[in-house]
Amino acid sequence: MNLKIMLATALLPIAGIGAVPAAAKVIDQGDAGFTVAHTAQVAATPEDVWKMLKMPQKWWSKEHSWSGDAANFWLDSQAGGCFCEKLPDTGKGLGSVQHARILFARPNEILRLSGAFGPLQGEALNATLTIQIKETPTGAAIRFDYVVGGYMRFKVPEIAPAVDGVIGEQLVGLAKALGGSLPPTRDEKAAAEAAGEKPAPAAKKLVPAAKGNEAPAEKESGLDDAVADLLADPPKADAEEPKDEDAPE
């Protein structure tokens, strides 16, 4: 099948999505791959978010399945477990699809999966979806980061926005299954505006204070430590270190 036809049918259009996460974008791309990130907030506990994550049949879109029925999804949330889909018997026997496998599972905090979704599965790619959960005063914040790299026959500027839309649609589905996304609070809007006016250094970002008058904490690069701020982009791991002008050449 032509790759453009595969993209249109297996990845599917994104224009009809009726709701969007609080923040969503392609945050990085190059010749070798790209990264997309989506965030949302819900009025549900991290425990409830974790329980729902383990039931993709309730939130992953059937439009992005191979069988056309979300009831065929299942997920084993232990390391090495499968995010898989049953393919019904159409006269040639039962089939199955591994969408991803579990790399890391810390209940109520982080679920990391390795898998190239949709037509990306047929390419020579490594793709990692990291789902982070953080408790908030009103429930929980959720972040999806999908990092794709390797060789593929798609053009990155064309495929990255399409994948961005598909990943965002799944977070919308998860939020809806948990009661719907919450709008950003006044404090969060103010923090976002302040961050835009005074960008943090490339190697670090400032995290808005969670409550009271606490000073913002610095977030180091990496996604596994404390998940301090799900609403700020993670810094690039290869960011150049500041140069000490007084150091000898």
Instruction: Report pLDDT for 238.
Output: 45
Lowest mean pLDDT among 90-104, 184-198, 223-237: 223-237
Q: In the chain, where does DSSP find H-type helix?
A: 3-6, 46-53, 156-177, 186-197
**Confidence grade of residue 7 (pLDDT, cut at 50, 70, 90):** very low
Instruction: Report pLDDT for 24.
Output: 56
For the chain, domains (ranges, CATH) are 3-87+94-177 (3.30.530.20), 186-219 (no CATH)
108-153: pLDDT as tens digits:
999 999 999 999 999 999 999 999 999 999 999 999 999 999 999 9
Residue 170 has pLDDT above 90, yes or no: yes
* pTM to 2 decimal places: 0.70
On whether the CB atoms of residues 21 and 169 are closer than 8 A, the answer is no
Round to whole Å and give the CA distance between 163 and 175: 19
**Confidence grade of residue 244 (pLDDT, cut at 50, 70, 90):** low
55-90: pLDDT as tens digits:
999 999 999 999 999 999 999 999 999 999 999 998
Instruction: Report pLDDT for 156.
Output: 95
Reference 34, options 175, 200, 166, 180; nearest CA is: 166
What's the token pair of residue 70?
A: 């979300």
Angle between helical axes of 46-53 and 156-177 (0-180°, round to 10): 120
181-205: pLDDT as tens digits:
887 665 556 655 665 543 333 333 3
